[in-house]
Amino acid sequence: MNPERVGRAIAIASMVVSALLATAKIYIGLKANSTAVVSDGLESAGDLLASGLVFFGLLIASKPPDEKHPYGHVGMMLVASGALISFRSMERASEGQHAPAAYAMWPLVASIAIKGGMSLTKRYYARKIGSSALLADAWNDGVDILSGVTALAAVAITLSDPVQLAAADHIGGAAVGVIIIVVGFRVVRDTTLQLMDTMPDPDSLDHIRQVGLSVPGVLGVEKCFARKTGLKWHVDLHLEVDPEMSVFESHEIATQAREKIKSEIDWVADVLVHVEPHLPTRAGTL
């Protein structure tokens, strides 16, 4: 199974589904006069953009990183859109509006069910192919489910008493806008972490160290760093060997460590091994 191909296929399917759901919710929301449904449709349009970015990221996953990172701009755009949706929804809450039609609920119900299935599918394949981008997109589907439930509750409350609770639909639209703002800030945060070369969790780094230490001739691990490129991680490993060892022997140990780590840890793309002399007084490891 080619992980990039699987990821791209899922991202494309997600884009198509998000486009259809966004179109249906915005169209029906306008016809049914529901602010909450229209707002949720705009949230689904944001999902379309997010899945498009996942698809773009998977296309270049095997290429070296460059200085172009569009995700931060997208995050701020989502924040601005969410703020505008919330503001306009609250404005409409103070205006005289007709209650939404009951059929406004159907695209929301369909969206919740479809997005639930998509989220589970993405989580499964994200873990299978080691794609954090696909896992993030699965989380985004979870947020879409939350916004759908919020909009559905708002419409249901309004329909329960169209005279006294007419504003509930607009308040629901504002709540969906807040959800979009939260998603936008999360995108910005994740982008910042990537730009800062955030390393994997301590257990993963310790796994790399332990595999390196299992190679005969390795006496210690001085440093261990890793950065993510595409779907996998590139490791910078400093191994300690006998200082009396020849250059050829230490090179062979470094090669064995590199190959063993790559073969035993499938999320590691490559390992750059540095050889250091083992000094009993050397303080700790990194």
Q: What is the CATH number of the domain that holds 252?
A: 3.30.70.1350
Q: Mean pLDDT over residues 104-109, rounded? A: 92
21 falls within a domain: yes
Count of structural domains within the chain: 2
Q: Mean pLDDT over residues 243-254, rounded? A: 91
Is residue 225 helix, strand or coil? Answer: strand
Confidence of residue 285 (pLDDT cuts 50, 70, 90): very low
Same domain, 178 and 218: no
CA distance 204 to 130: 13
Residue 10 has pLDDT above 90, yes or no: no
Q: Mean pLDDT over residues 225-249, rounded? A: 83
102 falls within a domain: yes
pLDDT at residue 267 in the model: 75
Residue-wise pLDDT for 132-177, tens only, equals 667 767 777 887 888 889 889 989 998 888 878 878 887 888 888 7
The CATH number of the domain holding residue 48 is 1.20.1510
Burial (Cβ within 10 Å: 0-12, 13-18, ≥19) of residue 225: middle
Residue 1 has pLDDT above 60, yes or no: no
Positive or negative: CA dihedral 275, 278, 282, 286: positive
Q: What is the mean pLDDT of the chain?
A: 77
The residue out of 195, 214, 245 marking a domain boundary is 195
pLDDT at residue 45 in the model: 78
Same domain, 252 and 116: no
How would you classify residue 217: left for phi > 0, otherwise alpha for psi between -120 and 50, otherwise beta? left
Confidence of residue 75 (pLDDT cuts 50, 70, 90): low
Same domain, 125 and 27: yes
Between 286 and 207, the more confident residue is 207
pLDDT at residue 254 in the model: 92
34 lies in which domain range? 3-195
Is residue 40 helix, strand or coil? Answer: helix
Tally the C-alpha atoms within 13 A of residue 85's C-alpha that lie toward its C-beta.
30
CA distance 25 to 27: 6
CA distance 111 to 285: 50
285 falls within a domain: no
284 falls within a domain: no
Same domain, 26 and 65: yes
189 falls within a domain: yes
Confidence of residue 230 (pLDDT cuts 50, 70, 90): low
38 falls within a domain: yes
- At position 237, the amino acid (one-letter code) is L
pTM, full prediction: 0.57
Residue 275 has pLDDT above 60, yes or no: yes
